[in-house]
Amino acid sequence: MGIVLVASFAANADGTGRHAIPAIYQSRQFADVGGLMSLGGGVLDLNQQAGIYVGKILRGTKPADLPIQQSTKVELVINLKTATTLGITVPPSLLTRADEVIE
């Protein structure tokens, strides 16, 4: 991931945190840099699906003939440190469902 992209994650997460705005993001990188939580497709899974599509196109399949697909894996990441800073209590039932809890 490029340094500019990571810096934009951090700036966005820092801005919502500074103004005490709880936010849920699509990309886990936001939770990694201080966002409250993220729920979305994993980057590795999305890249793998894109690679499969590119392979099919390079072997001659017309892009219009390929079906639209969604992520097969959805990842929930909760940043407890941010939740505590914002004064938010995350229910235990949500914590047990999380793929990762940042403490």
Work out how many domains the chain is built from and give that number: 1
Q: Quick check: is 31 in a domain? A: yes
CATH, residue 81: 3.40.50.2300
The parent domain of residue 77 ranges over 3-42+73-102
Over the chain, what is the mean pLDDT? 81
| Average pLDDT estimate for 34-46 | 84
Q: Quick check: is 96 in a domain? A: yes
Q: Quick check: is 64 in a domain? A: no
Q: Quick check: is 29 in a domain? A: yes
Work out the pLDDT band at 49, boundaries 50, 70, 90: confident
Q: Quick check: is 20 in a domain? A: yes
How do residues 69-86 score in pLDDT, each as one tens digit? 877 788 999 999 999 988
Q: Quick check: is 82 in a domain? A: yes
- Which residues make Cβ contacts (< 8 Å) with residue 72, sequence separation at least 6? 45, 49
Q: Quick check: is 49 in a domain? A: no
Q: CA dist 6 to 27, 43, 63, 94, Å?
A: 11, 14, 31, 27
Q: Would you say the pTM of this structure is higher than 0.85?
A: no
